[in-house]
Amino acid sequence: VLHKEMQGGSASGERALAAFVLIALKEAEVIPGVSELTGRAIQKTRTYLENDIDLLEDMYELALVGYALQITNSPRVAEVMNKLDAKATMKDGTKYWTKPETGIQWKGWAPPKDQAKAVDIETTAYALLSLGVQKDLEGGLPVLKWVTSQRNPEGGFSSTQDTIIALQSLAEFATMVYSPNFNMKVRLTSKTPEVPFQQDFNVDANNALVLQTADVPVDVKLLNIQAEGSGIALAEISTYFNTDEEIEVSSFDVNVTLFDETTKGFTVKVCGRWLKEGNSGMAMMDIGIPSGMTPDMETLDTSKAPMYKRSEMGYRKLSLYFDEFDKQVQCASIYMANTDKVAEKQPSVIRLYDYYEPKNQATTFYTSKVLADSGVCDVCGSECFCSAKP
């Protein structure tokens, strides 16, 4: 089990894992014949969780156990939901659950809006699933509002697991508020006097599932959104910007060293360790591949990385999977061969992050000075009509 909140070593993790399995068994009953095979296991697992209700304190554990008992019709589910509700945070008309932040501090200059931790999104989504089962529209709307506010511009959330649960909770809760008869007009207007801008969107049964977008001029500082008609629509504004340095203090320590640099290639060695308390969850090390270069997989050396599991090639990056990182340094190296003629190569990114909690990450860049300083004639010579150097 690589999800840190369900890992062994604590009773809390064991109960969360038991609840996760119980949910899977119950949801599998839609398959013909499965209920006859899982009925006894479902009953025994539910009883195990019911017997430990008085010990439940962790918010993730409460949300997961609450939903598991909800869908298995436990007579004690209200006890769990009351304990969970007592730990909720209410803010600006939203309701959510969050664990205290540890180890990450914002730097002094105006930080951007921060996306919640993956575990907080997953916890709140499980709570929303329970409220959906209860058909509690009034209690669920503030939770729904918060979950939708955590979506990223691509429609997902922070990590794989929280995205799955969040989308499931939104989809199931949406059935309570959906109406097939709606017709809306949404107008987006600039409130910056010197930058006029207006965009209208029509939303009806014919295009309700179609994403409609508009590019807002960069000088617009304030927008007004108005809607008329009937129905429900979600409006989202995404802002993109770049910084020269990381906004958050890193959760990992990452160091990069290059060896044997020539115009034909070099060896890159990446070392990392965990900086926060305990261990990370499952981690990924993404090594960016410079333009015109190809990693020689036969040279991949992970002998100094005891928790390394496997590698995967992606678009212009090599991803290495690790079970976890602790305070001990783990290193991996690989030879990058110069396979295409690209001069003045630019820095490539290396990112080390917790797979299930991507906010816990560190980013650095690397570049070969030999290849960065090489010009067109250095890499392709006469093929680029360069005369021989005297």
Per residue of the chain (390 residues), give pLDDT as tens.
455 666 544 456 889 999 999 999 999 999 999 989 999 999 999 999 999 999 999 999 999 999 999 999 999 999 999 999 999 999 999 999 998 765 444 443 444 456 788 999 999 999 999 999 999 999 999 999 999 999 988 888 988 889 999 999 999 988 887 777 789 999 999 999 999 999 999 999 888 888 899 999 999 999 999 999 988 888 888 887 776 666 667 899 999 999 999 888 999 999 999 999 889 999 999 999 998 899 999 999 999 999 999 999 999 999 999 999 999 999 999 999 988 877 678 899 999 999 988 889 999 999 998 877 777 676 666 666 676 555
- Which two three-digit tokens encode residue 203? 């939303």
**Using the 8-state DSSP alphabet, how is residue 247 labeled?**
S
pLDDT for residue 155: 82
Q: Where are the beta strands (DSSP E) in the chain?
A: 89-91, 94-96, 183-190, 198-204, 223-230, 252-262, 265-274, 283-288, 293-301, 308-314, 317-322, 330-338, 348-354, 357-366
pLDDT for residue 160: 86
**Pair 275, 253: CB distance under 8 Å:** yes
Nearest to 23 by CA among 66, 87, 79: 66
Place of tokens 């990056």: 317
pLDDT for residue 114: 64
**Using the 8-state DSSP alphabet, how is residue 134 labeled?**
T
pLDDT for residue 106: 41
Q: Facing residues of 70 across strands? A: none
Can you say whether the dihedral through the CA atoms of 127, 130, 134, 140 is positive or negative? positive
Q: What is the DSSP string of 272-300?
A: EEE-SSS--SSEEEEEEPPTTEEEEEEEE
- Which two three-digit tokens encode residue 170? 């939104």
Task: Assign 3-state DSSP to the chain and report helix, strand, coil percentages, each to 5.
Answer: 35, 25, 40
Query: Residue 138 carries which side chain, given as an amino acid letter?
Result: E
**Using the 8-state DSSP alphabet, how is residue 248 labeled?**
B
The side-by-side arrangement of strands in the sheet containing 293-301 is 252-262, 265-274, 330-338, 293-301
- Between CA 246 and CA 354 the distance in angstroms is 17
pLDDT for residue 209: 80
Place of tokens 């609840």: 19
Overall residue count recorded for the chain in this entry? 390
Place of tokens 């540890």: 102
Neighbours of 179 (CB within 10 A): 9
Place of tokens 């990381």: 246
C-alpha pair distances (Å), 357 with each of 119, 132, 284: 7, 26, 11
- Between CA 258 and CA 269 the distance in angstroms is 6
Q: Between 160-177 and 118-133, two packed helices, what is the crossing angle to 10 degrees?
A: 30
Can you say whether the dihedral through the CA atoms of 9, 11, 13, 18 is positive or negative? positive
Is the model's pTM score more than 0.85? Answer: no
Place of tokens 């506010």: 149
Can you say whether the dihedral through the CA atoms of 85, 91, 94, 100 is positive or negative? negative
**Pair 6, 17: CB distance under 8 Å:** yes
